[in-house]
Amino acid sequence: MTSPRPVGTLPDGRTVLGHVLTAPGIRLEVLDLGATVRSLRLSEDEGPGTEVVLGHPDVTDHVRAPLEFQGAVVGRWANRIAGARLVLDGTVHELAANEGTTCLHGGPDGFQLRTWRFAEATEDTATLELVSPDGDAGFPGRLVARATYRVAPGEVTIQLTATTDAPTVVSLTNHAYLNLAGGGTVADHVLTVEADHWLPVDGAGIPMGVEPVDGTPFDLRRPTRVGDALAATHPQVVAAGGLDHALATNGTGLRRVARLEHPPTGRALDVLTDQPSLQVYTGNALDGTRRGHGGATHPRHGGIALETQRPPDAPNQPDLGPSVLRPGEEYRSTTVWRFGRTAS
């Protein structure tokens, strides 16, 4: 086991540790703060490569802008829970709200702000662990969450697991913002999502059922320029200031659910997962006020998050799919980022 190194200090005095994983053509830096992917560089030669995720050189920016969730593992429940409230086995649990009356990504002190423990750190693998106590943000049960990152040539695998000592709900995801150009906006990226259905939302971002994507800007089954989707006049796009919606991806098991391409550079990314839902978020709330890698700012729509997860508000809408984890069970989520080139 190699030793993670200090990379900064938070205002509350916590030292943040980072660890770099490498494989041919790929360099991934992970922080213990939020089990965060701080940096992901792709290279085709011996140079420094191109940074393809948004991140902060100053680790304090990760806590100054907690609702950006940049690169972090979010939980206990990724995405939104309506009214910051759920009923589990007949018991009402009042959760911590952090987006109006909604509990978003685990509440105001979610997993992205916690110090995870490096349980393993090697040249190409890192595993981090977090213990979330019973009653944390209102969620029942003591949850032990683990995030494992592995790199291989042109590939990053993210495995998220959790166990509990009492019935609870859990959905974890990594919230990296991708930008295959290495800067600017993602308007010139091309996105394909293998999904026949999407989840329209109300004014609080809570799903209002499941509908076919046909005839909507959420029909991404064919390669679609992200800028064209952002310019759509559909009320849901206008209300969100872009895309911030879950798509019910086709198929089951580990399979490709999305492809992101940047034609000017020829870079491409396939997203594989075993999760049933993909939240597509086009960085609508980024505002250019914080510095990223190389001193560049993060403009609006400066990155796109492709969050593999269980559907939002599933604890309150069981028709959307399972949400409960019970003692003796293990929650498991696997996502693969596979980088390549666009077709010539």
Domain ranges of the chain: 5-341
What's the confidence (pLDDT) of residue 68?
A: 86
Active-site position among 29, 68, 261, 307: 307
Cα(137)–Cα(96) distance, integer angstroms: 5
Does domain 5-341 fall under CATH 3.40.50.300? My reply is no
317 in Cβ contact with 207 (< 8 Å): yes
Instruction: Say if residue 168's pLDDT is above 90.
Output: yes
Instruction: Say if residue 254's pLDDT is above 60.
Output: yes
What's the confidence (pLDDT) of residue 3?
A: 84
**Nearest Cα residue to 305 out of 137, 147, 105:** 105
Instruction: Report the relative pairing of strands 267-273 and 195-199 from DSSP bridges.
Output: unpaired
DSSP 181: T
Give one word for 68, left, alpha or beta, with left for phi > 0 and alpha for psi -120 to 50.
Answer: alpha
- In a 3-state reduction of DSSP, which class is residue 85? strand
175 is catalytic: yes
What's the confidence (pLDDT) of residue 66?
A: 58
Alpha helical stretches, state H, the chain: 61-64, 226-230, 235-240
- The angle at the Cα of 217, spanning 212 to 222, to the nearest 5 degrees, equals 80
Identify the H or E element spanning 247. strand 244-249
Return the number of other C-beta atoms located less than 10 Å from residue 297's C-beta. 13
Cα(328)–Cα(34) distance, integer angstroms: 26
Cα(226)–Cα(24) distance, integer angstroms: 30
What's the confidence (pLDDT) of residue 293?
A: 87
- In a 3-state reduction of DSSP, which class is residue 131? strand
- Return the structure tokens found at 54: 């948004």
Instruction: Say if residue 294's pLDDT is above 60.
Output: yes
Active-site position among 62, 175, 189, 298: 175
* Mean pLDDT, residues 129-143 taken together: 98
Cα(85)–Cα(95) distance, integer angstroms: 5
Instruction: Say if residue 184's pLDDT is above 60.
Output: yes
301 is catalytic: no
